Amino acid sequence: MALARVSGTKVRGGVYHLNIAIPPEIRHLHQGRALLTGTLKTADPKVAANGVILARARLIQQVDETARSADVNARLADLPPDQRALYDRAGGLEGLLEAFQRTQKTQAFLAAGDPSTMADTDEPPLDPLEIEMAAAEHRAASAILEGVARREAKTLRALGKKVDVPGGDMFGLAELAESFIRAKSYTVQNADSLRYTVRRWTEFHGDHPLAKLTRAHLAEFDDAARDLPVAREWLKKPMRAAVAAAKKGNLDRVSYKVRERLITHLKALSAFALDKGALTLDPWVGYRIDKPKEKVADRKAQKVAGFTPAEVKAILSHVAVTAHADTADHWLPMLSAYSGARREELGQLRVEDVLTSGNIPALRITDEGEDQKVKNAHSLRTIPVPPACIERGFLEFVARRRQAGGTMLFLEEYTDKRHQKTLREMTPDPRGRLTEVYGGRFSRKVLAPLGIKTKGQGFHALRHSWTDAARRAKIDPEIRRLIAGRLDNEDATEARYGGGDLLAEKLEALTKLIPFVEE
């Protein structure tokens, strides 16, 4: 007798077998098959029908899990770096959920041990100062834990998990900083600098909700920042520990400029929060840091001195015989010495940035390329290729790079995994800088062997040397400014007017300057 018909099955050998279509989105889980098959080992139509229901339920579950996984992967791509780091450290979504639960338990345990809520005991009473210090440490630890819990909860929320954010959705400086970085399209270098400031703040105060921030918080942080030690070994140590060590060991402290940068970052964040509606009042508006008095002679001594003409000649002679003729090591010192251009401006040049305008070979300094940046609007400019560089084969070098189909103008030496040296195009480092590594190499392989480096001098001193040479050559200050890409003491509004490159005038000035660069 034939078996009864059951949807989703076929009858073979007197028993029911599965015959269910597998949804396309999960076929990769079934070796690409379009049908789910397999014996149900029964001739009972009711048992077979239940088997089909279970099999279809498993397929639906797999479809849901695949959709959730795809959704998480899509959301992961949009996570800011700090949240992605939390996710990666936890080992995935489930690990992050477990970490969040552990943090909440630790918060509850810490709250139970709050010195301000503990009952009297038979123990000898503590000194009031000790009680105050213990309470301060407890508050800082609680704030840090709250910040961790908030970041974990925010990350889970961003990945689609419905969890409560401790303290509500109002975020602290750490989250605000990431929004600020995205809004301002910060470079990797600037973003890292801002994150360092926020890390120091969080180490010192914890990541309080924005509405709880006060002017006293900033003043206390500013005062502590005076005692941050300058030694690199303390950069990653907690701020309070670093400050205490500096006071105890009388270590060298960071400069006023470092402290100024920290406070400037924090004030920019509070202004941003006000602008975005995260604050109704800016607690830090108008705050000024105390600038130490400084003698004019001391301030002048701190300025980086340019190289002498004799030192410039020694540098250019050295790289001419030690550096490959197609590398940044060969051309950047010469171009900077004769044009005053900055190191990164030159290192980021592309082959297409060498052009001819009115029969004048020129360099276009721009930020149009993906890896190209300039310091400010005045840095965008076109300058003639210095005649001294043309005489030494620069245009022939450019022709070689064009013939090779190069994108970046300069090459650099690097060592591969087999410890073999070869040439490649200039490549940005993790912070997006193209010449940071070269700057260190210039100091080690050029200045050190020549014995001409003094404190603070590096590649940038060539720009100072160029300025000195331009003054000795009596180059018009306006033309000097246009070549070097500086605002100097010019009126910022007036400097925006006028669109001419004045290449002929610039070329005349660079030609006039030649005798004053080297000697």
pLDDT tier, 120 (very low <50, low <70, confident <90, very high otherwise): low
Per residue in 272-295, pLDDT (tens digit) is: 999 988 888 999 999 998 887 765
pLDDT value at position 499? 43
Q: Determine the angle formed by the axes of helices 256-275 and 215-225, rounding to 10 degrees.
A: 160
Stretch 464-491: mean pLDDT: 85
Whether residue 363 lies inside any domain: the answer is yes
pLDDT value at position 171? 66
- Sequence-separated (6 or more) residues with CB below 8 Å from residue 278: 170, 171, 176, 210
Whether residue 124 lies inside any domain: the answer is no
Whether residue 113 lies inside any domain: the answer is no
Whether residue 488 lies inside any domain: the answer is yes
Mean confidence (pLDDT) of the chain: 84
Are residues 195 and 330 both part of a single domain?
A: no
Domain stops at, among 77, 111, 137: 77
Among 8-22, 161-175, 426-440, the minimum mean pLDDT is found in 161-175
One-letter amino acid at 259 equals: R
Are residues 325 and 252 both part of a single domain?
A: no
- Sequence-separated (6 or more) residues with CB below 8 Å from residue 453: 443, 447
Are residues 262 and 374 both part of a single domain?
A: no
Are residues 409 and 328 both part of a single domain?
A: yes
CA 362, distance to chain mean position in Å, is 32
pLDDT at 337 exceeding the cut of 70: yes
Q: How many domains does the chain have?
A: 3
Q: What is the torsional sign of CA 322, 327, 330, 332?
A: negative
Cα–Cα dist 442/398, whole Å: 22
- Of residues 70 and 460, the one with the higher pLDDT is 460
Are residues 322 and 358 both part of a single domain?
A: yes
Cα–Cα dist 210/272, whole Å: 12
Are residues 351 and 440 both part of a single domain?
A: yes
Are residues 41 and 188 both part of a single domain?
A: no
Instruction: Report the CATH number that the domain containing residue 394 is assigned in CATH.
Output: 1.10.443.10
Cα–Cα dist 321/330, whole Å: 9
pLDDT value at position 282? 94
Q: What is the largest CA-CA distance in the chain?
A: 113
Stretch 174-180: mean pLDDT: 87
Per residue in 347-384, pLDDT (tens digit) is: 999 999 999 988 999 999 998 887 788 878 888 899 99
Stretch 139-163: mean pLDDT: 77
Are residues 348 and 384 both part of a single domain?
A: yes
What token pair was written down for 333?
Answer: 């010192």
Whether residue 375 lies inside any domain: the answer is yes
Residue 18: strand, helix, or coil: strand
**Whole-number Cα distances in Å, 364 to 41, 134, 354, 409, 410:** 78, 60, 6, 12, 15
pLDDT value at position 451? 92
Are residues 272 and 368 both part of a single domain?
A: no
pLDDT tier, 495 (very low <50, low <70, confident <90, very high otherwise): very low
pLDDT value at position 214? 93
Domain stops at, among 263, 292, 321: 292
Are residues 348 and 285 both part of a single domain?
A: no
Whether residue 130 lies inside any domain: the answer is no
Domain stops at, among 292, 318, 336: 292
pLDDT value at position 126? 56
Are residues 282 and 372 both part of a single domain?
A: no
Give strand pairing partners of 21. 35
Are residues 377 and 325 both part of a single domain?
A: yes
Cα–Cα dist 182/276, whole Å: 13
pLDDT value at position 497? 44
Residue 28 lies in domain: 9-77
Whether residue 33 lies inside any domain: the answer is yes
Give strand pairing partners of 412. 424
What stretch of H or E contains 354? strand 354-357
Whether residue 285 lies inside any domain: the answer is yes
Give strand pairing partners of 117. none
> Structure pTM?
0.58
Stretch 40-58: mean pLDDT: 89
